[in-house]
């Protein structure tokens, strides 16, 4: 039958809706005689299906696989050529989308099934295309005609890297299709299903932590502001205490000085009276009464303390913390504490 079809010009590299060629079908079923005939008639050994697989990728029959690989070696097919061929469609799609982006075109246009470029890239596992589209801020929750989102496509065709990229961009792992299926429901890869469960748990935990983190941050800010206000009040109190202490010390220093000057004046006066023979100012020996002593002249003493200027080190406003002169004892409490700084300046 195959020979008859090809003899009547049937396309040996024809593709179905999943991009499978006749060689894909013959290889996966292990029909080595059909594989030989198709290759002899020009079948493409590097044809890539919708899953990104070439015929040799899906061949599990050892003799058939050996034959395919030997034919690839005969034709000089290298691993570099294989990688370039796999990436060819992805590179082509990426370049086309970049050209559309440069002209300002819509990157969320739809095909007849309602699929957007992000749906197609997710279904094919085109990581570079998905990354580009997400950088252009396309919607991750856009739905096709069956209410499939790109994350459903990534889960269905088993592309974990793409699925994680979509989740990080905000895709919903609980989104449901027209039939009520989530990405987990339509995923057939056990490992990917397990990863979906982990991602869902991580995202739920992250969402639950965000309000608590916000409240904790606000509470910490309140405490730090309270500390700053208390610190400023303490600075004002320290300033006033230091001013009082400065005045007390200066007064104590002035008082002994005045006393010494009085005593020195009295001594000089007494010596002067004796030298001048003025004994009337002294009590005569053996007399019954005292003569009035001469009046000691008063010594003018300036007991007013000197001007004291106090500047608390580290004060944010020396002019408010400095005190011109020592205030009266009863006036110290009238100095209001400095207002806290603007928090925007802290």
Q: Return per-residue pLDDT of the chain as tens, 346 residues.
A: 888 999 899 999 999 988 999 999 999 999 999 999 999 999 999 999 988 899 999 999 999 999 999 999 999 999 999 999 989 989 999 999 999 999 999 999 999 999 999 999 999 899 999 999 999 999 999 999 999 999 999 999 999 999 999 999 999 999 999 999 999 999 999 999 999 999 999 888 887 877 665 555 554 554 444 434 444 445 555 666 676 777 777 776 665 555 555 666 666 666 655 455 544 443 434 444 443 443 333 333 333 333 333 343 444 433 333 333 333 433 333 333 333 333 233 3
Residue 244 belongs to a domain: no
Angle at which helix 117-124 crosses helix 127-135, to 10 degrees, equals 150
CA atoms of 110 and 145, how far apart (whole Å): 10
Residue 251 belongs to a domain: no
Spell out the residues 6+ positions from residue 115 whose beta carbon is closer than 8 angstroms to its own. Answer: 123, 144, 148
CA atoms of 123 and 156, how far apart (whole Å): 8
Residue 300 belongs to a domain: no
Q: Which domain holds residue 164?
A: 88-201
193 and 93 share a domain? yes
104 and 139 share a domain? yes
Q: How far is CA 276 from CA 265, 272, 280, 295, in A?
A: 17, 6, 11, 17
What is the pTM assigned to this prediction? 0.55
Spell out the residues 6+ positions from residue 330 whose beta carbon is closer than 8 angstroms to its own. Answer: none
196 and 95 share a domain? yes
116 and 18 share a domain? no
CA atoms of 165 and 133, how far apart (whole Å): 11
- Specify the number of domains making up the chain: 2
93 and 187 share a domain? yes
197 and 92 share a domain? yes
95 and 35 share a domain? no
3-state secondary structure of 238: helix
Cβ-contact 249, 242 below 8 angstroms: no
Spell out the residues 6+ positions from residue 241 whose beta carbon is closer than 8 angstroms to its own. Answer: none
Among residues 143, 178, 201, the one where a domain terminates is 201
CB-CB neighbours of 127 under 10 Å: 15
What size, in residues, is the chain?
346
Cβ-contact 281, 294 below 8 angstroms: yes
98 and 189 share a domain? yes
Residue 166 belongs to a domain: yes
Cβ-contact 67, 36 below 8 angstroms: yes
CA atoms of 92 and 86, how far apart (whole Å): 11
Burial-class residue 49 by CB neighbours within 10 Å (0-12, 13-18, 19+).
middle
151 and 95 share a domain? yes
Residue 11, domain CATH? 1.25.40.20
Residue 331 belongs to a domain: no
Among residues 44, 77, 110, the one where a domain terminates is 77
27 and 72 share a domain? yes
Among residues 77, 109, 139, the one where a domain terminates is 77
């Amino acid at each position: 039958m195959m020979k008859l079809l090809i003899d009547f010009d049937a396309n040996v590299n024809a593709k179905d809706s999943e991009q499978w060629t006749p060689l894909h079908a013959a290889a996966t079923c292990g029909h080595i005689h059909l594989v030989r005939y198709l290759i002899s008639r020009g079948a493409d050994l590097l044809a890539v299906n919708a899953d990104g697989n070439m015929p040799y990728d899906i061949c599990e029959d050892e003799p058939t696989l050996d034959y395919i690989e030997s034919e690839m070696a005969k034709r000089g097919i290298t691993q570099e050529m294989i990688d370039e061929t796999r990436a060819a469609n992805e590179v082509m799609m990426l370049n086309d989308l970049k050209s559309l982006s440069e002209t300002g075109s819509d990157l969320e246009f739809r095909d007849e099934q309602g699929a957007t470029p992000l749906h197609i890239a997710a279904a094919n596992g085109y990581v570079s295309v998905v990354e580009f589209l997400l950088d252009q801020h396309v919607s991750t929750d856009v739905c096709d005609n069956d209410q499939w989102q790109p994350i459903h496509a990534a889960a269905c065709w088993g592309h974990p890297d793409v699925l994680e990229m979509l989740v990080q961009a905000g895709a919903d792992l609980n989104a449901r299709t027209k039939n009520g299926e989530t990405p987990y429901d339509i995923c057939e890869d056990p490992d990917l299903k397990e990863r979906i469960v982990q991602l869902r748990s991580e995202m739920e935990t992250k969402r639950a932590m965000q309000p608590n983190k916000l409240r904790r941050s606000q509470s910490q800010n309140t405490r730090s502001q309270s500390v700053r206000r208390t610190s400023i009040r303490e600075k004002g109190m320290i300033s006033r205490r230091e001013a009082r202490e400065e005045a007390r010390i200066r007064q104590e220093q002035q008082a002994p000085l005045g006393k010494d000057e009085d005593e020195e004046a009295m001594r000089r006066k007494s010596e002067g009276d004796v030298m001048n023979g003025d004994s009337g100012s002294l009590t005569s020996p053996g007399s019954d009464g005292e003569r009035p002593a001469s009046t000691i002249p008063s010594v003018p003493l300036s007991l007013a303390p000197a001007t004291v200027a106090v500047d608390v080190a580290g004060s944010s406003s020396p002019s408010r913390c400095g005190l011109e002169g020592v205030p009266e004892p009863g006036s110290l409490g009238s100095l209001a504490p400095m207002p806290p700084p603007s928090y925007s300046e802290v």
